A and B are shown apart, each in its own frame.
Chain A
């Protein structure tokens, strides 16, 4: 079989270049947009995804990690009674007002009080063991590298949170928060910092299971017991998703992302289809000759679609390569970008869909390839 579509694409690559660029940039934009959204809004579930707990226990109706209320500390014993549970530890969330040594004014901080023991669950994936150990000292805090300027401190310096003096004993990385600044300390320190006398218990209890795959079942089983006051349970995955979705829709970012994705798709499809249509028109007499010789319209359509496919595939390849470079660059600059396999698949589907739509549009202009017009 003579590979007409591919040979034309290679020989007349200049003609197809705008389409490939349009497809490539559309793909790149979708990819970066998704990566940014996942990175920024993913940080709202960092508390969950950065920890190794399988089940979270918190106040009923909690929409995101940052909006929890205290629960009864005795729930801990109820959770521990479940044979599937390996370990339970409290997690205290305190909203604080930071005053640093430098002139920064008040900075709103999210204080995470966590268990400083080496086998603790909270932030086990985000906090190196040496840093965690330093939290055991009274009034010790760890802050993220990316917010040092914002907080106006450096390692070893002191500041106050809610009027209590704290000391920066370490600097973490990758612990950015949305709408505030994360500060990590021990459970004891966090209790000191909490000004609200009504807060007596922990904000959350997090549990590790013997078999993480049972997270949903155990979460369901632990729910619905009201003997210890109001509380509910989520599997870590559910709670993380809940947090991210809350932020996406609460901030309107979700709608923005969809809107932009639509625009990018539309613009890409217009440019790509125009280029492909021009390419079909440029060869319309040749196509008509083939049709005169008996090559069916269906076969000619396949040629056009195949061209669209290659344009999509090559555009995708370019977008992929450039995307990797840009992602690495973003990472090195502490820009929160995250790519997951489903996100990449979504991009591939969008780009190939764009190419397919353009191919279908170009296919329509094949009706001009009427062989009778060659006889005049």
Chain B
């Protein structure tokens, strides 16, 4: 905490958590999931959170993305304090600024890949043409240009997760949250997903926060946070080779 304030970066962090605590009470039992955790994330970086099962990674993600309230402490996202927003305002905040990728792909069986991506855009007040153009380009960006008309039942697992990423990406969010995005996929597909996430952070300046067990992903992250028992044990930056945006297939 002390060192963090001393080394104050020039730009304001995209996400800032100050001394947040969260406990769940079920019956007599009280589980302290997060315990006075502080964290600051910069824009344009892919941060990976790893740690043993049940240590509170998903809970942290839910709190930082405004899906769950803290018991104490504060979360600033893009300059707004999330704790001060009511449900409507939080929905609006998420609509404008955040994207999500979950472990399950959560795609509507009835919609084509293109429609899955277009649907949330319809609610952002974009024109029909703008929404379609964005859906098109983000599907191209995840390499699914030729799969746009297919329904989830006709897509592979990796392709489904890429549709889910495109759905989040098309919103042009400043914050992108991913919880175990690769755990339902094989190594090669997991690799591709993490590559895409990394590229999104680089090319769009998006703050990407990804939770994963998968040690193979560590090398692809800009920064790795190791969690245990509701605290951050270690915080280190990798020297992953910077992917040049010119290399990207379109």
Binding site for B on A (CB under 8 A): 1-2, 4, 7-8, 10-12, 283, 285-286, 288-297, 299, 371-372, 374-376
Contact = CB atoms under 8 A, between A and B. Distances in A.
B216 to A, nearest CB: 22
B80 to A, nearest CB: 14
Contact of A293 (B59, B62, B167): B167
A7 B151 CA distance: 12
11 contacts: A2-B118, A2-B122, A4-B119, A11-B151, A290-B120, A292-B100, A293-B94, A293-B168, A296-B95, A372-B62, A374-B102
Given A2-B122, A290-B119, A296-B88, A374 B106 contact: yes
Interface residues of B, number: 38
Contacts of B72: none
Contacts of B58: 375-376
Given A2-B118, A295-B120, A288 B106 contact: yes
Given A4-B111, A293-B168, A375-B59, A286 B106 contact: yes
Nearest to B99: A293
A159 B124 CA distance: 84
A294 to B, nearest CB: 3
Contacts of B110: 4, 7-8, 10-12
B78 interface: no
B67 A371 contact: yes
B108 A372 contact: no
A293 B95 contact: yes
A375 B179 contact: yes
B106 A293 contact: no
B98 interface: yes
B90 to A, nearest CB: 9
B61 interface: yes
A251 to B, nearest CB: 51
B230 to A, nearest CB: 15
B67 A295 contact: no
Contacts of B109: 8, 11-12
Specify which of A4, A12, A289, A293 lies most central, judged by the most chain B CB atoms within 10 Å of its CB.
Answer: A293
A288 B59 CA distance: 16
Given A286-B106, A286-B108, A294-B93, A375 B67 contact: yes
A180 B86 CA distance: 72
Interface in B68-113: 68, 88, 91-96, 98-100, 102, 104, 106-111
Given A7-B108, A285-B104, A293-B98, 6 more contacts: A286-B106, A293-B120, A294-B95, A294-B120, A375-B58, A375-B59
B30 interface: no
B123 interface: yes
Contacts of A291: 91
A289 B117 CA distance: 12
Nearest to A294: B95
Max chain A C-beta neighbours (<10 A), residue from B68, B100, B167: B100
A286 B107 contact: yes
A347 B46 CA distance: 60
Nearest to A12: B110
